[in-house]
A and B are shown apart, each in its own frame.
Chain A
């Protein structure tokens, strides 16, 4: 995965979170599925960010 692909992937995960916030606004009471989706998206984003940071250190 290139750095730019990684950046897009992270942005995509953030869009996913935004959509969840939209669906649950304004109270943001998450169901178990929502919470799972939210945490999984953050986990994937974190992992990708670490990979991007690693890639960037070689440039």
Chain B
């Protein structure tokens, strides 16, 4: 099948619309994944396909055994940084959850998870053949998770099935309001029942301090492209030693004709996971990630400042728990919504106005409520965003007190 040159020409000279060099990007899922300088250099060096496999050891041909580039050492450092015993880099956080579910559970088992979990947590459970039982969250505007209800849900599962759930999943920072969960309460419950606790750190590890041992969790999953200044796809699966046999079990299959076996390969990983540029960007950014989590306090200062400023605009209220414990923020903006009702562009007016001021990442079409993330912005950029919103509010006659 031939494809015309004209059609193929669209793949030449592709450029990104949201250029970070010329605009401020507030996209909630993108801030923590902005590459460091070292990662951008590494991307140029290791962009080719299997670029990390030059020195794959022939006797233990596995990604985590490669020492040049120093992947083997990186996995050890990654685990230590997270307060865990072992770590693997996988394709995405959702694969890390799937692997954990698949290796811990059997078909029909239950997972107990928070009702603010990302959709991929549900799909990962479904693909692993598991059922889910949800822990509820509270009412608006806080939407606080009822962490104590994990015990109730475990009991419900036990009554229904006669056994405990395969695992508990807790989303450390949920994607809707940026609420930070009380991990220690859930880990105490998990320990009491002897059920492994998986902490989904997609929005937390890599931007804020996370110590799995101190929190009492058995497994951490995270997202390199969301929170570790890495290219996609990169996910992290970190675990305590006690779960090594289950999660990192080796392949046992044997070919009936060839008698081939793959006993060096880790079954859940399907062998090697991310053999190229994304993994190297994760590694290259690691020193800066280790340093930047120490500056989390300043990131919170910036988001709290911006929230307090935006709430001066008529009708603007931050949703979720207060004060902000994370830079992912959800605001309701009744004032801008009223403006949109009379505007020819309706809800798109806000996006247009922001774009004109070189601010992107607020979802186009939303004016009544939207999310943003200030992670990694400089103070000048935060103040620039504040000024832009004030400017737009005043332009349309909204009070800024």
**A interface residues, Cβ below 8 angstroms from B:** 8, 11-12, 15-16, 18-19, 21-27, 29
Which residues of chain B come closer than 8 Å to A16, judged between CB atoms? 37
Which residues of chain B come closer than 8 Å to A12, judged between CB atoms? 41, 44
Interface centre among A11, A12, A25 (most CB of B within 10 A): A25
Mask, B29-60, CB within 8 Å of A = 1, is: 00000101100110011000000000000000
A25 CB contact (under 8 Å) in B22, B36, B45: B22
A26 pairs with B40, CB closer than 8 A:
no
Instruction: Report the Cα distance A16→B97, complex, angstroms.
Output: 36
B22 pairs with A26, CB closer than 8 A:
yes
A22-B21 in contact given A15-B37, A16-B37, A27-B384 (Cβ < 8 Å) = yes
A23 pairs with B378, CB closer than 8 A:
yes
A18 pairs with B41, CB closer than 8 A:
no
B378 pairs with A19, CB closer than 8 A:
no
Q: Beyond the given A19-B36, A25-B23, could you list 19 further A-B residue pairs with CB under 8 A, ordered by the A residue number? A: A8-B44, A11-B41, A15-B37, A15-B44, A18-B40, A19-B40, A21-B22, A22-B20, A22-B34, A24-B378, A24-B380, A25-B21, A25-B358, A26-B22, A26-B23, A26-B24, A26-B359, A26-B384, A29-B380
CB distance from B20 to the nearest CB of A (A): 5
Instruction: Report the Cα distance A29→B379, complex, angstroms.
Output: 13
Which residues of chain B come closer than 8 Å to A26, judged between CB atoms? 22-24, 357-359, 384
A15 CB contact (under 8 Å) in B20, B40, B384: B40
A25 pairs with B44, CB closer than 8 A:
no
Which residues of chain A come closer than 8 Å to B20, judged between CB atoms? 22, 25
Nearest chain B residue, comparing its CB with the CB of A16? B37
Report how many residues on chain B are interfacial, defined by Cβ distance under 8 Å.
19
Instruction: Report the Cα distance A29→B381, complex, angstroms.
Output: 11
Instruction: Report the Cα distance A18→B38, complex, angstroms.
Output: 12
Instruction: Report the Cα distance A12→B359, complex, angstroms.
Output: 27
CB distance from A42 to the nearest CB of B (A): 16
Which residues of chain A come closer than 8 Å to B36, judged between CB atoms? 19
Interface centre among B36, B41, B357, B358 (most CB of A within 10 A): B41
Q: Which 9 A-B pairs have the closest CB atoms?
A: A26-B358, A21-B21, A19-B37, A22-B20, A15-B40, A12-B41, A22-B21, A15-B41, A26-B23
A11-B22 in contact given A22-B34, A25-B358, A27-B384 (Cβ < 8 Å) = no
Instruction: Report the Cα distance A19→B41, complex, angstroms.
Output: 11
Nearest chain A residue, comparing its CB with the CB of B44? A11
Which residues of chain A come closer than 8 Å to B24, judged between CB atoms? 25-26
A18 pairs with B44, CB closer than 8 A:
no
Instruction: Report the Cα distance A8→B44, complex, angstroms.
Output: 8
**Can you offer 18 A-B residue contacts whose CB atoms are under 8 A?**
A11-B44, A18-B21, A18-B40, A19-B36, A22-B34, A23-B378, A24-B380, A25-B21, A25-B22, A25-B24, A25-B358, A25-B381, A26-B23, A26-B24, A26-B357, A26-B359, A26-B384, A27-B380
Nearest chain B residue, comparing its CB with the CB of A26? B358
Instruction: Report the Cα distance A22→B165, complex, angstroms.
Output: 46
Instruction: Report the Cα distance A19→B44, complex, angstroms.
Output: 15
Instruction: Report the Cα distance A23→B344, complex, angstroms.
Output: 35
Instruction: Report the Cα distance A27→B44, complex, angstroms.
Output: 27
CB distance from A30 to the nearest CB of B (A): 11
CB distance from A34 to the nearest CB of B (A): 11
Nearest chain A residue, comparing its CB with the CB of B25? A25
Instruction: Report the Cα distance A16→B44, complex, angstroms.
Output: 13
Which residues of chain A come closer than 8 Å to B384, judged between CB atoms? 26-27
Which residues of chain B come closer than 8 Å to A21, judged between CB atoms? 21-22
